[in-house]
């Protein structure tokens, strides 16, 4: 019995796009928010924390203050008390307070639609800025977290050296108009079918189709 022919990279890209689009044609943003500011805060809180937990914490936080003008007046200790379940609460509460003050003083209380200005805000790295630019402002961006980094390696789309390289590789492979939805589609597929424990590179449909002859677990490099 002859082995199935593995897909080329171009074929893998086309198959992945089609499969993810069929599963998640209109992927919702998993973090509850109402505008760019509340999305920014929610994404900041999601660092090393699940979206589900963030969504249980933000209602109380946003009831207290859902805009930078009000948040800038809230004592850091009060913010920390509310967001403690998200982890890293000392750093995150200080970042929320300071960035809210910066938005008021430097940007008229508005979240800037600008990469450099966003990444200057405390607690806002490139990934957080990418999520806000893409999901709040519709600017093409490809936010790469540890989950996307893992799946991109399993699917042979990157060599996995770091998230910066993975972002470059994914942007080069996929059409720009797909980036904003694709970021969410990969996250949802990873959670449902290709999780860290549920798939080792040989179980889910995308892994099996892209690499039909893969017999051993795919070793992935952590970022």
Q: How many CB atoms lie within 10 A of CB 124?
A: 20
Set 34, 63, 94, 127: catalytic member: 127
Contact between residue 137 and residue 113 where contact means Cβ atoms under 8 Å apart: yes
Closest-CA residue to 9 (of 159, 164, 181): 159
Q: Which helix (H) or strand (E) holds 79?
A: helix 76-83
Which of 70, 145, 169, 216 is labelled catalytic? 145
Short-list 176, 171, 175, 116, CA closest to 144 = 171
Residue 127 annotated to the active site: yes
Q: Return the H-helix or E-strand segment holding 103.
A: helix 89-107
Q: In sequence order, what DSSP letters do the residues of 53-65 get, joined into one string?
A: HHHHHHHHHHHH-
Structure tokens at 67: 């805009």
Contacts by 48-56, CB closer than 8 A, 24 or more apart: 48/87, 48/88, 49/86, 49/87, 49/88, 53/85, 53/86, 54/86, 55/30, 55/31, 56/85
**Is 3:212 a contact under the CB 8 Å cutoff?**
yes
E strand intervals along 115-176: none
Q: What residues act catalytically?
A: 127, 145
């Amino acid at each position: 019995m002859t082995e199935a022919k593995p897909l080329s990279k171009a074929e893998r890209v086309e198959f992945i796009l089609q499969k993810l689009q069929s599963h998640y044609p209109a992927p919702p943003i998993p973090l509850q928010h109402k505008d760019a500011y509340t999305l920014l805060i929610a994404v900041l809180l999601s660092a090393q924390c699940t979206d589900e937990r963030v969504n249980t914490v933000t209602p109380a936080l946003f009831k207290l203050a859902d805009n930078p003008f009000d948040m800038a007046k809230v004592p850091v200790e009060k913010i920390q008390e509310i967001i403690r379940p998200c982890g890293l609460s000392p750093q995150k509460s200080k970042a929320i307070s300071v960035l809210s003050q910066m938005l008021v003083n430097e940007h008229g209380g508005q979240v800037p639609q600008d990469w450099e200005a966003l990444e200057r805000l405390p607690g806002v790295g490139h990934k957080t800025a990418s999520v806000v630019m893409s999901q709040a402002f519709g600017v093409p961006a490809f936010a790469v977290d540890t989950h996307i980094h893992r799946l991109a390696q399993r699917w042979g789309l990157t060599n996995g050296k770091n998230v910066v390289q993975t972002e470059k590789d994914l942007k080069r492979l996929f059409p720009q108009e797909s980036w904003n939805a694709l970021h969410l589609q990969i996250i949802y597929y990873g959670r449902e079918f290709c999780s860290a424990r549920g798939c080792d590179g040989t179980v889910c449909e995308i892994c099996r189709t892209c690499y039909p002859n893969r017999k051993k677990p795919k070793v992935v490099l952590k970022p």
